[in-house]
Structure 1
Amino acid sequence: MKKLIISMVLFSFAAAGIAQVIDNTSTRVQTSLNPGLKHLGTLIPRNIHQIDTSRWTLGCETIDREYADFNAYKEYLPALGIKRIRLQGGWARTEKDPGIYDFAWLDQIIDDARSRGLEIWLETDYGNPGYEGGGGRTLKGGFPTSEKALAAWDKWVELMATRYKGKVRDWAMWNEPDINKQHKPVDIADFNIRTAEIIKRIIPDARIGALSLASINPKFLEDCLQRFSDKGKLDLFYWVIYHGYTMNPDTAYTNVDKMREVVKRVAPKLKMWQGENGTQSEWCQSGALSKYPWTELTQAKWDARRMLGDIGHDVDSTVFTAADIDYRTTDFHNGLVRYGLLKTAGAVEGFRVLKVKMAYYAAQNVVSVFNDAVDLIPEYPCEVTCARALSIYGYKVKKNGQQVVVFWDKTKVPENVNDTTPATLKIKGGMFKSPVWVDTLTGDVYEIPADKMSVDGDTVTFKDIPVYDAPTFITERDSLLYEESARLVYERTHAKKQGQ
């Protein structure tokens, strides 16, 4: 579907007294990519009110420790197209003095997010140093251990579940407990059970994600799940959550596949959810995947590959994170880290948004096509001939059966160049008549000429199709909502005038 629009969406930040812009023009992202195909137009972004995206989540983390400010970037969320956001409950921020609770900070965020049409995924963490043996309030902080602190934890979880019943259905357990090496699988599983039982007692239909492990270690996962099983508590949980940062996003899936086998064997009813992953947009001194010369281009490539690799493995996916984070008072993270889809200033400057990064627009493009309107085709029957190793996944559009095949060069860490390699894709049962080639980073749509496609029985072959280290996909031209290129509009209008 073609639609001609030239628009800029302007968001006013009343509190900050400034205005920020999300660029919806066809040139919102420009790179050096040259696929050698005729440019037809650019994808039109779709917001959360236009599509359903139950497989995607956007991270809005660390607000509990005041390392980021939801109010600084909230206006940018609906336009991204991802409906569910991840929040952290923040026991230590809510109960600064024992027995005195102030949920106002979290109330405001949850109520504001829901008013925008967003859904909440609420995580139960971290500890509270206000109690002796209360655990730490930052990443790597230990679980509460004293009898008094554990009772206070139970009370906080109970109050939070009661307060947000009817507002929050999706919950998660303590974030990355396995980073603290004192936490063994049995400790993590038992603390998950303790917390989940409180939530389920108050919200029987709650969907709870278990574990939230930093690692993608199949044996560690199996030990945790086996503990759930031995205690007859698997039914408390809906998902099993893992993170697992890797420099090359595609190398994670060897272990993810092994973890899937564990889940199938020990806890077959549980769904898998990648609960936190992303990379930075520049060199940063701390955090996962730090001390590497990332750029906005390589961040966008990394995020798009992680997103589409996840759902290609039938795993729900979380993008980390909405905005940059200004970590303080922690040894592992120190200073500004640039994982955000939005570049933001630090705490001293009120976390104000400085710019919209390329990764924001790439995520917009991904979710505008790969959403609840398509179904994954398991073991997509595509034979590839290429000098590079590819990741490749196929989807079917629910309403009409049209296909979408997405692919990229998976061999390396995303690079800061856009060189392409030709590939031949032979698809058994392929359904294509007027195919186009689409780049997820720019959203640009290109025509695939007739001499690059052949049909033999039920097999469609695409020859000399450009491939690079960011996801691109082939689908039917009329299945896309895109803005026709200004050049094509001009050429058509000029030709009509000459014919008059």
Structure 2
Amino acid sequence: MGYGCLRKLMHTNRFYIALLSGMLLTAPVSVAQRIDTTADQRSGVLVKTTFSPGWKRLGTLKPRPATAIKSSNWIIGCETLDRDLTDYEQYKTYLVPLGIRRLRMQAGWAKTEKVKGVYDWAWLDKIIDDAAARGLEPWLETGYGNPIYEGGGGINLSAGIPTSPEALRAWDKWVAALVDRYKTKVREWEVWNEPNFGDNEFNTPELVADLNIRTAEIIKRIQPTAKISGLAMGHIDLKYADTFFKTIHQQGKMNLFDNMTYHDYVYNPDSNYDRVADLRRVLDKYAPNVKLRQGENGSPSLGGPNRGAIGDYDWSELSQAKWNIRRMLGDLGHDIESSILGIIEMNYGKTSGPITRMNVKGIIQSDSLKRAVRPKMAYYAMQNVASVFDNELVRIKNLHDTHNINATVSADEIKYNKGTDRSLSVYGYAHKTTQKQVFTIWMDEAIPTNTNQPKNINFTLLNARFDQPVYVDLLTGAVYEIPDDQILKKGRNLTFKNLPVYDSPVLIADKSLLTF
């Protein structure tokens, strides 16, 4: 991204961020110093928005490091290291403060085996060893292919899988060596990224299923406890998925897989759950116990041609942040593990595949030399989500929520007066031990906007479990006191009058569930 584009982006979004004049020309002294931890800065200057409920502010959510979180629903994308489109050294110190333990990566066969039969692990050792030392958990993909073998497959998006007998034998040896080397540091694996990208005709679902089976069998032989993700579908194609699942099922091999992954980029992050439900029904025909995982999704922070998926919209850092946390919390509300692309902008070149410009879906701004410049608004917003939600919170499954494909639909827990012109996403969670509750609410009917226009609703919780309910704007992390005259108590029921909501998630949470 050039300096002129950056100035335009900053002006368009009206951010109040002080940049040193030479930042894009001189590498930062320490990338860790670029993370602002000052509460007033994080919810005021760095994450400037026009939204406020007008109530007394109690504080700002404190980020939780990934190492302080035992387990959560989230994965952060660290893709394209195999093609040198990003530099792990530049962003590694941002990972633990983000609050997400699991990292999605490609292992890079072609980068590791440049001479037949000779593996140079130095580049990958450095990354995997560092991530493990930080207490992080790589989710490692075995692809792409290797053109030193005839029929060895390609090395980027839209690439063909290995097909020749020689290449498949070499693939088997590569996978075995890879798993054997990292089996103590990598517990989750994936096979091949987006085999159906661009509707190519050479990666047929039957051939891709066969590659998934042979790869999973090698992994399980060496690491029996490994969790393996299959499919990694680039967009939801139900016919392709059905043939893929059926092929594996007919060979009796579904037991090899913990989950099947999909990447379904949509402009409105809340608009595809019906499609996901369709995919779930297809998988249920063959393997009802195999989970679905959303394996890659994210939003740009700048629109424009050739920016990749959903790039042709007037994106800003504000709408990107809203998109990312709506996707995180929408997936959480559907009991689907969720991976966000990606930790940093990816510097695609002319030979890197279909995308030939800076991929600005990263939550850290990069420059033409792949250096980390600063976290974007989305980084801090995702920190806020990770600071509240982990696997100690259990979803309340009998909410009146027609979007929720896993819920028993009922009106016994919640009611709200949304009017006729707004659609809301509402999900509720209770702490495993204390049973105290938190509810997420946002307007979901449209693509996230670059402005904030709240609407007031009356929101009633039946059988509520709160000692002290507070209001949280997850975009900024700001925690507010809800005025007493806006809470009506009737037994175990609570009604919040004129509760402001907008197209970014807000919380009603028991104060005990927050750290600020």
Question: Would the TM-score normalized by the shorter structure come out above 0.5?
Answer: yes
SS state at 2:456 partner = strand
Q: 1:317 aligns with which of 338, 341, 354?
A: 338
Aligned-pair identity (%): 46
Alignment correspondent of 2:149: 131
Question: Which amino acid in structure 1 is aligned with residue 445 of structure 2?
Answer: T
Aligned-residue offset at 1:17: 6.7
Question: Which amino acid in structure 2 is aligned with residue 159 of structure 1?
Answer: A
Task: Rate the CA distance shift 1:164–1:386 in 2: closer, same or farther, 3 A.
Answer: same
Question: Which amino acid in structure 1 is aligned with residue 202 of structure 2?
Answer: Q
Report whether the alignment pairs 1:22 with 2:35. Answer: yes
SS state at 1:251 partner = coil
Residue-by-residue CA offset, 1:72-129 (whole Å, 9 max, x unaligned): 1101100000001011011110111222211111011000011111011000111111
Question: Which amino acid in structure 2 is aligned with residue 383 of structure 1?
Answer: K
Q: 1:385 aligns with which of 403, 417, 432?
A: 417
Aligned-residue offset at 1:480: 1.4
Alignment correspondent of 1:270: 290
Alignment correspondent of 1:359: 378
Aligned-residue offset at 1:145: 1.2
Q: 2:172 aligns with which of 128, 150, 154?
A: 154
Alignment correspondent of 2:363: 341
Aligned-residue offset at 1:456: 2.9
Question: Aligned ranges for residues 151-300 of structure 1 at < 5 Å?
Answer: 151-179=169-197, 180-286=200-306, 287-300=308-321
SS state at 1:406 partner = strand
- What is the rounded CA distance, in whole Å, between the counterparts of 1:331 and 1:201 in structure 2? 34
Alignment correspondent of 2:511: 477
Runs of 5+ consecutive residues of structure 2 not aligned to the other structure? 1-25, 400-412
Alignment correspondent of 1:114: 132
Contact 1:199 1:206 in 2 (8 A): yes
Q: 2:79 aligns with which of 61, 72, 76?
A: 61
Aligned-residue offset at 1:157: 0.6
Report whether the alignment pairs 1:93 with 2:129. Answer: no
Alignment correspondent of 1:485: none
Contact 2:319 2:450 in 1 (8 A): yes
Between stretches 425-434 and 332-341, larger displacement belongs to 425-434
- What is the rounded CA distance, in whole Å, between the counterparts of 1:418 and 1:52 in structure 2? 34
Task: Rate the CA distance shift 1:475–1:193 in 2: closer, same or farther, 3 A.
Answer: same
- What is the rounded CA distance, in whole Å, between the counterparts of 2:340 and 2:353 in structure 1? 24
Report whether the alignment pairs 1:456 with 2:490. Answer: yes
Alignment correspondent of 2:163: 145
Task: Rate the CA distance shift 1:317–1:428 in 2: closer, same or farther, 3 A.
Answer: same
Contact 1:68 1:325 in 2 (8 A): yes
SS state at 2:470 partner = strand
Q: Alignment length, in residue pairs?
A: 465
Question: Which amino acid in structure 1 is aligned with residue 222 of structure 2?
Answer: I
Question: Which amino acid in structure 1 is aligned with residue 417 of structure 2?
Answer: T
Alignment correspondent of 1:11: none
TM-score (norm 1): 0.90
Alignment correspondent of 1:8: none
Contact 2:388 2:513 in 1 (8 A): no
Aligned-residue offset at 1:54: 3.3
Task: Rate the CA distance shift 1:132–1:274 in 2: closer, same or farther, 3 A.
Answer: same
Aligned-residue offset at 1:149: 0.9
SS state at 1:266 partner = coil
TM-score (norm 2): 0.88
Question: Which amino acid in structure 1 is aligned with residue 37 of structure 2?
Answer: N
SS state at 2:132 partner = helix
SS state at 1:426 partner = strand
Residue-by-residue CA offset, 1:117-171 (whole Å, 9 max, x unaligned): 1011000111111111111101100011111111111111111011112111100
Alignment correspondent of 1:491: none
Residue-by-residue CA offset, 1:341-369 (whole Å, 9 max, x unaligned): 100112xx2x1111110000000000110
- What is the rounded CA distance, in whole Å, between the counterparts of 1:451 and 1:223 in structure 2? 58
Contact 1:431 1:460 in 2 (8 A): no
SS state at 1:18 partner = coil
- What is the rounded CA distance, in whole Å, between the counterparts of 1:181 and 1:470 in structure 2? 39
Question: Which amino acid in structure 2 is aligned with residue 249 of structure 1?
Answer: P
Aligned-residue offset at 1:396: 0.4
Between stretches 262-271 and 383-392, larger displacement belongs to 262-271
Contact 1:243 1:275 in 2 (8 A): yes
- What is the rounded CA distance, in whole Å, between the counterparts of 1:463 and 1:218 in structure 2? 43
SS state at 2:358 partner = strand
Task: Rate the CA distance shift 1:258–1:458 in 2: closer, same or farther, 3 A.
Answer: farther
Aligned-residue offset at 1:331: 4.4
Contact 1:298 1:416 in 2 (8 A): yes
- What is the rounded CA distance, in whole Å, between the counterparts of 1:130 and 1:275 in structure 2? 29
Q: 1:375 aligns with which of 394, 404, 422?
A: 394
SS state at 1:392 partner = strand
SS state at 1:78 partner = helix
SS state at 2:395 partner = strand
Runs of 5+ consecutive residues of structure 1 not aligned to the other structure? 1-14, 483-500
Alignment correspondent of 1:429: 463
Between stretches 60-69 and 90-99, larger displacement belongs to 90-99
Question: Which amino acid in structure 1 is aligned with residue 499 of structure 2?
Answer: I
Aligned-residue offset at 1:335: 1.9
